[in-house]
Structure 1
Amino acid sequence: MFRVMVNHARKHPSLIPLFLIIGSGGIGAALYVMRLAVFNPDVCWDKKNNPEPWNKLAPNDQYKFYSVNVDYSKLKKDRPDF
């Protein structure tokens, strides 16, 4: 499959940007799904030690990718300001 793509790209160089855009979109989608699978509190990989991880979240924990109405000045700082 990869060899066919390389042969097409050699014959038609205008296909190279198309391959790059589609490839970067696929990689971005895979990384986002991996992020959701690892950091989302609704997903539980270890059912023996922590069967309900969503119950251990504090009200100010941010687990969404983008929170709309958050006052970041009132959040607890985990690391020092430099």
Structure 2
Amino acid sequence: MSGFISMLRKKKELIPLIGFVSLAALGATSASIYFLLTKSDVIINKSGNPEPWERLDPSKPQKFITINQQWKPVEELEMVKKLTK
């Protein structure tokens, strides 16, 4: 660790580079944790719920950006869903 600090003292032009790389790594890690905990399309436990797509709310957009999305239920799928329950 002391060798790393002494290298930074000798070559000060590396400090912004290391700062930007560290910031990018922190951003990627925090985005991964955020998506893992909040998004419904990321599945951690497949054995607990083998069909996780059944729990999704169709009125809630699943994309990062959704422009002019209108959801209408498909009658055939609703009928099949009622028959299988």
Give the TM-score taking structure 1 as reference length.
Answer: 0.61
Aligned-residue offset at 1:27: 0.7
Q: Higher Cα Rg: structure 1 or 2? A: 2
Alpha-carbon shift at residue 40 of structure 1 (Å): 2.5
Q: Which amino acid aligns with 2:66?
A: V
Q: Shift in Å at residue 34 of structure 1?
A: 1.4
Task: Identify which of structures 1 and 2 has the higher relative contact order when contacts are C-alpha pairs closer than 8 Å and 6+ apart.
Answer: 1
Matches within 5 A, 1:1-80: 2-47=1-46, 50-64=49-63, 66-70=64-68
Q: Report the identity percentage.
A: 28
Segments of structure 2 that go 5 or more residues without pairing to the other structure are 70-85
Instruction: Please give the alpha-carbon distance, in whole angstroms, between the structure 2 residues aligned to 1:60 and 1:52.
Output: 19
Q: Offset at 1:21?
A: 0.3
Aligned Cα root-mean-square deviation (Å):
2.4
Q: Is the 8 A contact 1:9 1:16 kept in 2?
A: yes
Given residue 16 of structure 2, which amino acid in structure 1 is its aligned partner? Answer: P
- Flag the 1:36–1:23 CA change in 2: closer, same or farther, 3 A: same
- With over 3 angstroms needed to count, the CA separation of the structure-2 counterparts of 1:68 and 1:5, relative to structure 1, is farther
Secondary structure at 1:67 match in 2:
coil
Aligned length: 69
Q: TM-score, normalised by structure 2?
A: 0.59
Uncovered stretches (5+) of structure 1, i.e. residues with no partner:
72-82
